[in-house]
Chains A and B, each alone.
Chain A
Amino acid sequence: MLTVDKITKRFPGVIALEDVSLALEAGKITALIGENGAGKSTLMKVLSGIYQDYEGQIIFKGQVVRFSNPRDAQEQGIAIIHQELNLIPYLSITENIFLGRELITQYGTLDKRKMKLRTQELLDMLKLAVKPDTLVAGLKVGQQQVVEIAKALLTDSEVIIMDEPTSAITESEVEVLFEIINDLKKQNKAIVYVSHKLDELFRIADNYVVLRDGKSIESGKMEGITQDLLIQKMVGRSIQVQRKAVCENKEEILISVKRLFLKHPVRQKEDLLKNISFTVKKGEIVGIFGLMGAGRTELLETIFGLHPFISTSEIQIENTRVIINSPSDAIRSGLALVPEDRKKDGLVLGMDVKTNICLTTLPDLEDRGFLSDLKEKTLSEKYIDELKIKTPSPYQQAKNLSGGNQQKIVLAKWLATKPKLLLLDEPTRGIDIHAKSEIYKLISGLAEKGLGIIFVSSELPEILAVSDRVLVMAEGAITAEFSSIEATEDAILKAAIPKSVYENQL
């Protein structure tokens, strides 16, 4: 249905895509895989008309096409659903779906009735049981995604490109999404599914295309290929996620958290976190697993002093009671938090690497009341070196570095505070496999030096590979604890599924 023939896209100084070819078939789901920076997003931008100046050609339904802008691509039948949803929160579903292509009555006013009817049809087809007048702000992320799909169907798109569609939705929403995708497949749509999550691809995709360093490495049928083989093709070498050797004699308790409660910021009667108690020993990596909404991030934030007025707890660090009411209290007690969203909460993107690394320890970098350039430079160069941060100089702006290197900057700025306990919230989210394994190594190295580490992740293989002990959270409480020997994917998942959902399924 759609063929991409030897497309090359150049940016000043870089070739983002080189001679990339692929073919999409109607009624088939094609998985597009590759590490970050492999050229997936560039390819999608070419396909959806965002980039017009490329070499090579796109053949769509037997004709060579060149879209002049995203709208043109949409009208000809190619829709893209971006990772960050592009909906307007305070407009209704109908208004969002018809945005920019509103139906007009003969008097020139909006034909609300017709638009609403059409929206209802689309929602029925996608089995989304909400009213067309509902504001998008009131929908869950998974439901918003369905609205995006409805938007794509409105223009009768024949090719639908989905960029990391499951990155922000819950397991049960994933199931709904997969059903929809299978329906679309039956309607003979060609679907491109971009995802890092290989297990999903095995469940849903028919074909695959692997991109590496801007080139299309291989394509073929999903049937008969294994996960390891795919990874090998993506990275160009085989890497193993190896289980960490369990270290013994970790006896000394570093932190003990007892009876931690967190109230809902608005609905005061509701507890977001319920009676959480646990300990971390020196040199121990404790993995915390939970589905979206289980309260993992809130737990780390509460320990770090971000919710002082709505939480209660008893925290002891090295057998001394501490009271943490703000991040600066937490830092003083030896805690460090690498937040989930490094761009939003971790870095000042417009500042350079040096300044970001030094931000947590400025009082130590002063010389007679003024900041010392020399001290800042020495500190940042030490960590650039130690963590192998790839940057042309300490004066490079953080926003110009790759995700993995940005994450290392965040780690560096926290290691500079000489913490005793490192709280890591999804530290490998959105970074490529190579950078991930570097981060794992770093973390294990830190634990060997005696740091306690809490490692929150929603990726099971990662948790199993890294942790000495696994805690599982569901609905704001800890539901299970496993040593790394007992831990299996099945057992962890079972404990992570909220009781209410679980019982419904039985």
Chain B
Amino acid sequence: MNLQKYRADLIRFQSFIALFLLCLALSIMSDKFLTVSNAWNVMRQISVNICISTGMTLIVLTAGIDLSVGSVLALCGAITAGLLRNGIEFPSGNLFIGFTLFGAVVAGILTGSALGAFNGWAITKFKVPPFVATLAMLTIARGLTMLWTQGFPISGLGDTFLYFGTGWLLGIPVPVWISGTIVLIAVLITNKTRLGRYIYAIGGNESASKLSGINVSKVKITVYTIAGALAAVGGILVTSRLDSAQPNAGTSYELDSIAAVVIGGTSLSGGRGSILGTVQGAIIIGVLNNGLVLLNVSPFWQQVVKGFVILLAVIIDKSNSKND
């Protein structure tokens, strides 16, 4: 009995334990790993993935998936950067609209929300499988990014804007504040609100949820919209950190995000998982990336290692749920 309880605790903290062991190993292997500056560096880097993965977790909990987050991130970053730098000009009417920093950021986030809502609409209204609908959006948003940027980076965005990605507040990097706040709100939503409960219920049994009077379509659209908005926040952070909106930013970010969700123990079939699990997953991936760089492992090998880690995480998770 005691052994069982011990086992259950072990399972609950398994990703935490894995993370601890990983950090321990890296600090032995590299003297650069366990330093304050490196720690903040890692946190700053993973902030973007945490933003995206928070939205991804909500979607995966409803048994959906969002492949478009990387492209949406790029488009929204580019829109914010473009509006901030150039505004909008209508040649025909001799009309020019300039954007303040606030206006540009809001426009970026609204764009992300709109694309997310579009995903949700296609999925609920036309019953397009989420995989396909968001795969389409992956291409659409990437194309729109190219159109908007004409394939060139948009740079020179001003010091105030750079504060989002590179600044410090009370000794903590600003992106960490932003992603931390997002995580906090998401934890509250999932654990303490009706929306959160509906998300888990829909993932657990969609048809029973529908019969219980839950407006399944509305919940799904909300979730995809939130994910779109969070991808936009990620886009703004990336753009700000680089002082440049790259047309090919965010490529394959959806994969890192899904990896974080899965490593964090959220079931891809929905209904089971948590935001904090995903945060741990994102940190594990971030630390792993950072450690492999510090150890001078070639980028090619880094990808191979990361792939195996994802596989291992899912295998462990499967064998745990079987023992349940």
Contact = CB atoms under 8 A, between A and B. Distances in A.
A345 B209 CA distance: 8
A303 to B, nearest CB: 13
A347 B193 contact: no
Contacts of A339: 208, 211
A345 B216 CA distance: 14
B194 A360 contact: no
Interface in A340-363: 344-351, 355, 359-360, 362-363
Given A348-B204, A349-B204, A330 B197 contact: no
A351 B211 CA distance: 16
A22 B149 CA distance: 79
A408 interface: no
Interface in B164-222: 188, 192-194, 197-198, 200-201, 204-205, 207-215
A371 interface: yes
A330 B213 contact: yes
Nearest to B272: A350
Contacts of A304: 211
Given A346-B208, A362-B197, 16 more contacts: A326-B215, A328-B213, A330-B213, A339-B208, A345-B208, A345-B211, A347-B208, A350-B205, A350-B271, A355-B197, A363-B194, A370-B188, A370-B192, A371-B192, A371-B194, A413-B212
Interface residues of A, number: 28
B213 A360 contact: yes
A409 B264 CA distance: 31
B212 A359 contact: yes
Given A362-B194, A370-B192, A371-B197, A344 B213 contact: no
Interface string A169-212: 00000000000000000000000000000000000000000000
Nearest to A350: B204
A331 interface: yes
B205 A349 contact: yes
Contact of A370 (B193, B201, B204, B207): B193
User: Majority SS of interface residues in chain B?
Assistant: helix
Given A359-B197, A359-B214, A348 B192 contact: no
A355 B200 CA distance: 10
A44 to B, nearest CB: 23
A270 interface: no
Contacts of B215: 326, 328
A369 interface: yes
A301 to B, nearest CB: 9
A304 B193 CA distance: 27
A298 to B, nearest CB: 14
A254 B272 CA distance: 41
B203 to A, nearest CB: 9
Chain B interface extent, by class: 20 to 34
Contacts of A417: 213
18 contacts: A337-B211, A339-B208, A339-B211, A344-B207, A345-B207, A345-B208, A346-B211, A347-B208, A348-B209, A350-B204, A351-B201, A351-B204, A355-B201, A359-B201, A360-B212, A366-B194, A370-B188, A370-B192
Contacts of B188: 370
A327 interface: yes
Output the residue of A359, A371, A417 with the most chain B CB within 10 A.
A359
B212 to A, nearest CB: 5
A366 B210 CA distance: 20
Nearest to A332: B213
Contact of B271 (A347, A348, A360, A370): A348
A366 B215 CA distance: 18
B67 to A, nearest CB: 26
